[in-house]
Structure 1
Amino acid sequence: MPSSVRFRVFFLFAAGYFVSYVFRGVNLGFAPLITHDLGMSAADLGLLTSLYFIGFAVAQIPVGVLLDHFGPRPVTAGMLVFAAAGIWTFGASHGLAGLMVGRLLIGIGVSVCLSAAFKASAQHFPVARLPLVNGFTMAVGGLGGVVVGSPLASLLHVTTWRQVSFGLGMFTLVVAAAIGLFAPRKSDAGHRADVISQFKGTWHILKSGAFWKIASFSVVTQGVFYAMQSLWIRPYLLDVMNLTPEHAAGLVSVLGFAMMFGCVGFGAAARGMERRGVPVYAFCGVGMALYVVVQVLMVLRVPLPPAILLAAYGFFGGTGILSYAVMAEYFPSHMIGRASTTLTLVIFVLIFGFQVGVGAMLSQWPPEGGHYPAVAHVTVWALLIALQAASAVWYVLPSRALQKTERAAS
């Protein structure tokens, strides 16, 4: 296959994931303004922001079926129109109900972006290159995490969040049109079963012991990472580290850049380590374990510069994404769309739960001057660390399900 086609596939679908990532974290900049306008509590803000993730999660199974049935090009282009409608609804709303509807529509609209990128890559790149290609895709998405830091904060000094919402909607339509017009028209024609059979395939994945073994540690770490990055990391920096809003916004961008380098670095290193006999599954586990260690250092308030801690948090935070490449080793190519969306479904359900849960727990402490006490944040982080440690134990235990799947694949 010509390299120009592969580059086009990568660029277009990575751009779609960039849009998804911007929408995921845009409330970091919007939150203080919206909270001021509507007088929302931490629990209200957590629920509003997390509606993106519940919309994203609810759409995953039907999106996976559509991806495997029609291919990533038409599905992605069509779904992004819903995202544009969602951000315009969000920006035009003057009440909490309208904001919630808009946020939910955004989540549904961009729910296809990550899995479509992985599906398109699996169709056009060799399996051996997928960890690196997926890592680059995540890096482009990570630029969205950078944009919602200092750049968004600076933009909001000269314009309103409603005007930014309108601009995001227009940009989303441009990306949708580019994918619809220029992405290759390729689908798994030889495996294009009817929709009922497609749903049966999804049920087969959900019943697979191999799927849950691969997902065990990554869904929890990714759930924590994205719940924090897209909302609660900024309050932590303000309330626990006592940073200024400008400093906190800068560190959010540092986190985004570090995640980009981490995704690419781990994606590239995974292939090299595999050649030396270290499976991607094991290498992914090491990266996720280091992410938990960084969280422990932050909770213990070790005397390190905040920039170093946030860079390490971002660098290791996205390593669980290697699980998508592991899925490609255990499931056939015509099921990768459903395997990826099923994994994404579980991750985003947890992100929703963590964002709402963190907001509800913080609200148990009375705010002081618009800030929650440091003990509230530390308590929440400690509980999340304990949950991740428990999932790590399951991840490292021997699995007959994986061995059985390996024998079947060979």
Structure 2
Amino acid sequence: MIARIFLPFAIGYFLSFLLRVVNAVIAPDLVAELNLSAADLGLLTSAFFIAFALTQLPLGVLLDRYGPRKVESAFLLLTAAGALLFSWAETFPLLVLGRALIGFGVSACMMAAFKAYVSWVPKERLALINGCHLAAGGLGAIAGTAPVEFLSELMGWRGVFVVLAVMSLVISVLIYLVIPRRGEVPASESITKQIKDYGLVFKSSFFWRITPFTVMSQAAFFSLQALWSGPWLRDVAGFDRGVVAWGLTLIAVAVFTGFLVGGIVTDWLRRHKISPITIGFYGMFLCMIPQALLLLEIDSFLMVSIVWMAFGFLGTGGYLIYPGLSQFFPSHLAGRVNTALNSFVFVVAFVGQWAVGAVIELWPVQASGGYAVEGYQAGIVMLLVAQFLGVGWYYLFPLMVKKYHQLNRAVERIKGA
């Protein structure tokens, strides 16, 4: 199972995460070559997220209908096309289109694996194998830092994307040929019925209790880790490009460790009846501490590394919500449950990454060519406020539901009278 199911999907997620974070390293090249503003850079990079988000609801139906092997291998062909277009594009609109195609293509890499694991892995071990799968994404985040910087110096950022296009094609073929066909029975339900079943997810009060905080936390994590961490290290901490690349590598190592430890700890704590959602919630809550520390102007490499690595480690807590949430629904809805949550996460991640760039741009560019420290501080404050609202919603939601039911009962009594 490890060789024929886990590894192919894990390699796909490795590529997905690499492509998600690669712009944090090549951002200076993109800005210099295409004369991009902070808002342009935010929009370009976040096009990945909005494209990713737009696929999620139909992706859930496709996964539950045609199976993860066929769906992910087909989607990765779009990734290859998007990476090639990105490597060739000379204008901003074509770059955005290429980035969006990449987002469309890799949008199945996590959801397809989670769907497959529900079918192949005992329910009580899902958190562990999901954590190992996410750890492969952490390795992709590591590969998207110093190794990409090395390749970029060797062959330019356009050459890097040609390599990524070839990787996408190879992984697509690997998944299609290696994943077993067993259990690939076409869904007996009509597509209309499958779409209607999303109502079972969206009518769940528990789904609406945990989703806002998860969405806000993940949006902050994606916005900072996938793009603005690199510019922050350059403009706020004052590091040169080589040191920035190594700083990003340390963050990626922390992300990898967070994914792996999260899966192992969750698997252990399930024996004590502690839900992955509980662990994920407190991980997301604690992740706000290093974000608050980023408001300080820290210039020590050691302290900067500790704060950013804590952010990377704790930011992975949001991913534990997925296996926890899917356990509240029938297994045949697994694809739709996870993609329903993911659709909200990536829409808000798109808005968040772009909005941080727009906020940064409110301050004039510095004489050094970098962005103002105050702009980064304002952007991070915006993300923190959104997360605090999500926490408040989580704790107040049960009270609002209780009041709603009390009001309904009162109305029914009045009607009966």
Partner Cα distance (2:163, 2:2) in 1: 29
Return the offset for 1:298: 2.4
* Maintained 8 Å contact 1:89/1:98: yes
Who is 1:222 aligned against?
A: 218
Alignment-derived partner of residue 310 in structure 2:
312
**Partner AA of 1:391 in structure 2:** G
The letter for the 2-side match of 1:384 is: L
Distance 2:109 2:184 in 1: 18
* 1:11-410 pair list within 5 angstroms: 11-187=7-183, 189=185, 192-301=188-297, 305-368=303-366, 369-397=368-396, 399=398
Deviates more, 1:212-221 or 1:339-348: 212-221
Query: Which shifted more, 369-378 or 204-213?
Result: 204-213
Are the counterparts in 2 of residues 127 and 328 from structure 1 also a CA contact under 8 Å?
no
Cα distance in 2 between the residues matched to 1:356 and 1:398: 29
TM-superposed deviation, 1:12: 0.8
Deviations 1:45-95 (A, max 9, x none): 111111111111111111111000010000000110011001101111111
Segment drifting more, 11-20 vs 72-81:
11-20
When residues 35 and 301 of structure 1 are mapped into structure 2, their CA distance, relative to the original with a 3 A threshold, is: closer
Greater shift in the superposed pair: 120-129 or 298-307: 298-307
Residues 365, 376 of structure 1: 8 Å contact kept: yes
Q: Is the 8 A contact 1:68 1:188 kept in 2?
A: no
Specify whether residues 400 and 116 from structure 1 end up closer, same or farther in structure 2 by C-alpha distance, changes over 3 A only: farther
SS of 1:180 mapped into structure 2:
helix
> In the alignment, is the contact (CA less than 8 A) between 1:6 and 1:124 conserved in 2?
no
Alpha-carbon distance in structure 2 between the residues aligned to 1:147 and 1:56: 21
Unaligned runs of 5+ in 1: 404-410
Cα deviation digits, residues 280-308 of structure 1 (max 9, x gap): 22221111111111212222457762111
Relative to 1, partners in 2 of residues 1:323 and 1:400: Cα closer, same or farther, differing over 3 Å?
farther
Q: Is the 8 A contact 1:149 1:253 kept in 2?
A: yes
Give the CA deviation at 1:170. 0.7
Aligned AA (1:357): A
Closer, same or farther: CA 277–301 of 1 in aligned 2, 3 Å? farther
Bigger mean CA offset, 196-205 vs 81-90 = 196-205
- Compute the displacement of 1:398 (Å): 6.4
String of CA shifts for 1:94-149, please: whole Å, max 9, x gaps: 11121111111111111111100111111111111111111111110111111121
Contact persistence 2:250–2:305 (CA under 8 A): yes
Structure 1 residues 370 and 48: alpha-carbon distance in aligned structure 2, compared to 1, 3 A threshold: same
Partner AA of 1:309 in structure 2: V
TM-score of the aligned structures, taking structure 1 as reference length = 0.93
* Number of aligned residue pairs: 399
Instruction: Give the letter for the 1:328 counterpart.
Output: S
* Structure 2: stretches of 5+ with no match in the other structure: 403-417
Q: Report the Cα offset of residue 399 of structure 1.
A: 3.4
Residues 179-215 of structure 1: CA deviation (Å, up to 9, x unaligned): 0001022457485311111111123322322212232
Distance 1:101 1:253 in 2: 28
CA RMSD, aligned part only? 1.9
Q: Aligned residues: percent identity?
A: 36
2:363 alignment partner AA: W
1:195 and 1:108 map into 2 onto residues whose CA distance is: 21
Q: Is the 8 A contact 2:209 2:397 kept in 1?
A: no
TM-score (normalised: structure 2): 0.91
Give the drift of 1:258.
0.7
